[in-house]
Amino acid sequence: MAAIDARGDDVVLRLEDNERSLMLTVFTDLAALLSEDDGSEDGSRPDSENWDARLGLVGRPRPEDPALLRLLPDVDPEDEERSTEFRRLTEFDLKQAKAHNVRIVLLGLSKGNDITLTHDETLAWMKGLNDLRLVLAVRLGIDTEDAQDEKYARREELSESEDLTLTLYDFLTWIQDRLTTTLLTRKQGDDET
């Protein structure tokens, strides 16, 4: 079972072999989701060279995949025009920031089962874990608290793959919560001194 402890300014995460390999798989999938061709005219070019997109000169289509839309939401669901404009100006940066967090997670996972994270790396892990959980929740149909409660209540009726996804989701929830409370505890200590 994974363990998370504070060590000085760092956070140390210890994973089992199967936990680490599973996380490598699902975070690699998330990296792929965030790098998918967005359908714009310049989609064939890597994002780093896509100056028109970086500068907000070309429109970006609203994601059709609900999981991707959850990661890159509308700025004002009641104003389509404004949301389209905002997406053109900001979505590129948002997607890059999320992809960067995922890269930090994958880099940490590549180092072995004992992973030492700096404060900034811990924050990137928290954001990356949150994004991955958002995607899994969409795939599981957990969009409201009622839907979530029902999913757990009817656990025995779930297909094997759904049950495994829910187990993975719980595991990622635990890691994200432990990382967050570790930083919160440290912050309270800092605030008092």
Partner 1 sequence: MVFNDPVNLMSYVSYVFQTYFGYSEDKADALMLEVHENGRSVVATGGREAMERDTQAMHEYGLWAACQPDSGSD
> What residue ranges bind partner 1 (CB under 8 A)?
70-79, 86, 90, 93-94, 97-98, 126-127, 130-131, 133-134, 137, 142-145, 147-148, 173, 176-177, 180-181, 183-184, 187-188, 191
Residue among 42 and 74 whose Cβ is closer to partner 1: 74
**Under a CB-based contact definition with an 8 Å cutoff, are residues 129 and 104 in contact?**
no
Counting other chains too, the contacts that 138-145 makes at CB distance below 8 Å and 24 or more residues apart are 138/66, 138/67, 138/70, 139/67, 139/165, 140/165, 140/166, 140/169
- Min dist. Cβ of residue 98 to partner 1 (A): 7
- Min dist. Cβ of residue 105 to partner 1 (A): 13
Distance CA 42, CA 136 (A): 29
- Min dist. Cβ of residue 133 to partner 1 (A): 5
Distance CA 21, CA 168 (A): 12
Distance CA 101, CA 131 (A): 10
Residue among 113 and 171 whose Cβ is closer to partner 1: 171
- Min dist. Cβ of residue 127 to partner 1 (A): 6
Residue among 33 and 72 whose Cβ is closer to partner 1: 72
- Min dist. Cβ of residue 154 to partner 1 (A): 16
Residue among 64 and 145 whose Cβ is closer to partner 1: 145
Residue among 145 and 157 whose Cβ is closer to partner 1: 145
- Min dist. Cβ of residue 83 to partner 1 (A): 9
Residue among 17 and 78 whose Cβ is closer to partner 1: 78
Q: What is the DSSP secondary-structure string of 8-76?
A: TTEEEEE--HHHHHHHHHHHHHHHHHHHS--SSTTTTS-GGG-HHHHTT-S--PPPSSHHHHHHS--S-
Residue 113 phi/psi, 5° resolution? -85, -20
